Amino acid sequence: MVTLQDLKRINDYEWEIPKSFRPDMRVPVRLFATRRMLEDVMKDKSLEQAVNAATLPGLVGNVIVMPDMHQGYGFPIGAVAATRLPDGVISPGGIGYDINCGVRLLGSHINLETAESYLDDLATALNQHCPSGVGENGVVHASEAALEAVCNQGSRWTLKQGFASEADLRRTEESGCVEGADPAKVSKRARQRGCPQLGSLGAGNHFIEIDLVEQIFDDTAASVMGLEQGTLAVQIHCGSRGFGHQICTDYVEEFQGVVQRFGIHLADRELVCAPLNSPEGQSYLAAMRCAANYAFANRQILAHSARKAFEQVLAGKLKDWHLHQVYDICHNMGKIETHIIDGERMQVCVHRKGATRAFGPGTAELPDEYKAIGQPVLVPGSMGTASWVLVGTEASMTQSFGSTCHGAGRLMSRHEAKRNVRGEKLRQDLEAGGIHIRAGSMAGLAEEAPQAYKDVNQVVEAVVGGGIAKKVARLLPLAVIKG
């Protein structure tokens, strides 16, 4: 068990569990958090899970945990770990079942004052245009051939189908398509699950939200992103649906035998992995990329649906109701990237599970318009609380493999939240606070109650204080659509 005494203070925002903490650790664990947040961190097993993750073969640098960390399975949520190529491992449990779960932000020039009377209609229209709920089918029922194209092309497929613009793709991580996907590495079951669900939100903590750009902290960056104080924005949070869940399930199962063959000893069976240069590791990487591309396409189709909803409600009433893409980020991904580690430039597989890529200014992978300001980072808060737009920094490149936090992070178990919060009462309270709610399940709503999460403002203070992100804008929720 990790205690406060086991943490070595690096500075006010960084703490370390040294490699000597447990003999099987291969690298230290670095934690970004304020002293005040550490009390909450100790309430669950997230740091133990981070220590377990630090035992994987081929790790380099540190296992990083973000201030929004919480207990997950295998890796904690909010973890970043990099393994060296070619013989380090890739672990599906270090990426998560919802492969390329992520967030998209759309900005607008719609002033709240002019649109306030339409918010309820917008919430209804978004709920109608964007299918949500458990196992719900999507806007598109893809054929087998279309699914293959989605696997290979991601958002590029949606561009050909009329769901996207070139600007949308440019302002998406990886331009909406990770190269190296291979649909042949995806099971029949995953395909069966994937075909009907394209363009759907799902359930759980996934949502679509209409926000108000409440405050700007960096005028230049906000201006480049097209974010203006007092205007509406839309966030879409979802991933690869049953397609990604099935791919992860398939490979966690397959890798149970692989670790024995490679003589890899695990602290937890959910950490199963395979060397990146093994046929099994390559197969998972290729299948995972299919799910990543599916998720990019999924969020793109939902963005198209959100635009249709805005058009339906606002066309002819407001002059400019267009929603432009600010950025689309992934927070559950495995990526081959080049980083400088201990002074050495090396190719690594960066596992981000509940952590956002946050590349700093000048990074080659960014679209031209963002090269000077750094990559936009989207940090949704809990339902009914603020969300943040940040940018990556030079320091994030050296301290956290170009990564930062991904959200508020859970504090209370779902069981406890359900016990303490009544979904219907929560809905009434949020609506009394001026937030329009559309939710498929009151039990699901209760589990996502704001009090079940950490304070996202504290999370942001910790990553900004730690130097791995900079503030650009704060958003406040006006309408929430949940499955």
Catalytic residues: 406
Helix 241-261 with 279-314: angle, nearest 10 deg: 170
Residue closer to another protein by CB (options 25, 99) is 99
The partner residues of 28 in beta bridges, in order of sequence, read none
Residue closer to another protein by CB (options 34, 441) is 441
Position of tokens 């956290």? 400
Q: What mask, x for binding another protein by CB under 8 A, covers residues 429 to 448?
A: ------------x-xx--x-
Cβ 149 to another protein shortest distance, Å: 23
Q: Does 199 bind another protein (CB under 8 A)?
A: no
Q: Does 238 bind another protein (CB under 8 A)?
A: no
Q: Does 15 bind another protein (CB under 8 A)?
A: no
Q: Does 402 bind another protein (CB under 8 A)?
A: no
Cβ 394 to another protein shortest distance, Å: 31
Task: Out of 57, 58, 61, 74, name the contact with another protein by CB under 8 A.
Answer: 74
Q: Does 248 bind another protein (CB under 8 A)?
A: yes
Whether residue 365 contacts residue 359, with contact meaning beta carbons closer than 8 Å, is answered with yes
- Candidates 3-11, 112-120, 196-204, 342-350; binding stretch for another protein (CB under 8 A): 196-204
Whether residue 271 contacts residue 93, with contact meaning beta carbons closer than 8 Å, is answered with yes
Q: Tokens at residue 186, please?
A: 């995806």
Residue closer to another protein by CB (options 98, 211) is 98
Q: Does 165 bind another protein (CB under 8 A)?
A: no
- Candidates 72-80, 215-223, 292-300, 397-405; binding stretch for another protein (CB under 8 A): 72-80
Q: Does 254 bind another protein (CB under 8 A)?
A: no
Distance CA 108, CA 104 (A): 13
27, 188, 342, 353, 411 from 93: Cα distances, Å: 18, 21, 26, 8, 21
280, 320, 381 from 473: Cα distances, Å: 43, 22, 13
3, 7, 322, 376 from 226: Cα distances, Å: 44, 41, 12, 12
Residue closer to another protein by CB (options 462, 464) is 462
Q: Tokens at residue 169, please?
A: 């793709």
Size of the site for another protein (CB under 8 A): 44
The partner residues of 480 in beta bridges, in order of sequence, read 209, 437
227, 229, 235, 356, 458 from 216: Cα distances, Å: 8, 6, 17, 21, 17
- Candidates 112-120, 141-149, 395-403, 408-416; binding stretch for another protein (CB under 8 A): 408-416
Residue closer to another protein by CB (options 372, 443) is 443
Cβ 70 to another protein shortest distance, Å: 4
Q: What mask, x for binding another protein by CB under 8 A, covers residues 81 to 120?
A: ------------x--xxx----------------------
Task: Out of 22, 38, 73, 165, name the contact with another protein by CB under 8 A.
Answer: 73
263: Cβ–Cβ under 8 A, 6 or more apart, which residues? none
CB burial readout 334-354, b (16+ within 10 A) else e: bbebebebeeeeeebbbbbbb
The partner residues of 436 in beta bridges, in order of sequence, read 479
Q: Does 180 bind another protein (CB under 8 A)?
A: no
Cβ 10 to another protein shortest distance, Å: 25
Residue closer to another protein by CB (options 242, 402) is 242
Q: What is the DSSP string of 361-383?
A: TT-TTS-GGGTTT--EEEE--ST
Q: Does 245 bind another protein (CB under 8 A)?
A: yes
The partner residues of 338 in beta bridges, in order of sequence, read 347
Q: Which residues bind another protein (CB under 8 A)?
A: 44, 46, 70-74, 77, 93, 96-98, 134-135, 189, 192-193, 202-204, 242, 245, 248-249, 252-253, 256-257, 268-270, 272, 410-416, 441, 443-444, 447, 483
